Structure 1
Amino acid sequence: MGTMSGCLGYRALEDFVERHQAALLAVMKLPHKRLPSYSTIRRTMVRVDFVALTNAFNAWAQETISVPEQTAIAVDGKSIKASVEEYDSAYQDFVAVVSAFCTQLGVVIGLQARHNGSESEITTVQTLLEVLQVQGVCFSMDALHTQKNR
């Protein structure tokens, strides 16, 4: 709820929890009437298995979202803030997510995680297209994906 309300950092999420404490306790029906602090929010978010989360999202999206034929699907990759390792090295590694957005429905219909140091966006997009299993649609992607095999 905090993220959907524009709270994008751990401190912002902590502020959200403090501001909406009564409503959150009423909705969540927690046994000890205590909500998570900054440290708990951070520890929990750091421990999220991103690959498992994207797999769960993709399974949910395939069951829930019906993609109409002849619609446009925008595919793009974005790096995840604060995931850079060895930022002062020429061999930086960071986590990125490639998403497929159905423009007609206004929703993301698929996600695929990638590590910059181990795979390219091209292969990640190919994997995502296999996961999506959609036909009769028009994909929009960066020019990077027009490369030919040599």
Structure 2
Amino acid sequence: MIPIRKGQLKNVIHTACVVRLDTGEKQLLSTKGDSYCHFFKPISIEDYNLQLRLDWSDLDAGGHPTLDADFYDVATNKKLRNTGELRPLHHTQTNNPSLRVYEWEFRGYKWPFKVIISWLVIVKESIQVTDSVSCEVFRNDLKVDE
């Protein structure tokens, strides 16, 4: 699979849903404008607001999107730099390149999940029909030649 570029996501993927592997909880992911990301519902952990998203412009070896995490200060809602303990959490790859399964963890909060994609498929079809007819003419039970 090749990376999805700005404005292409809605032409390639119908829906993206995550299923937590520990609870079975499902969440339908959203899109924003021409973004190439699917967005999770924002969450809060301690003094951080977090926005997780699947970045389809940054694929791993298996062709799966990178899980991006943006951290915001809970008091000011200002986006924080990805330094210190936040740096390794900003980009998460799948656990196994052949599966779309992730495990994101921060300060004891674990979120193992799989991603289910409903792809859009464009089918082009061409149908050609030919027909051949022959007939014989009979008059008074006798075949009439031309």
**TM-score bucket of the superposed structures, by smaller chain:** under 0.3
Structure with the higher strand share, 1 or 2: 2
Mark the structure with the bigger radius of gyration. Answer: 2
Q: TM-score, normalised by structure 1?
A: 0.23
Which has the larger helix fraction?
A: 1
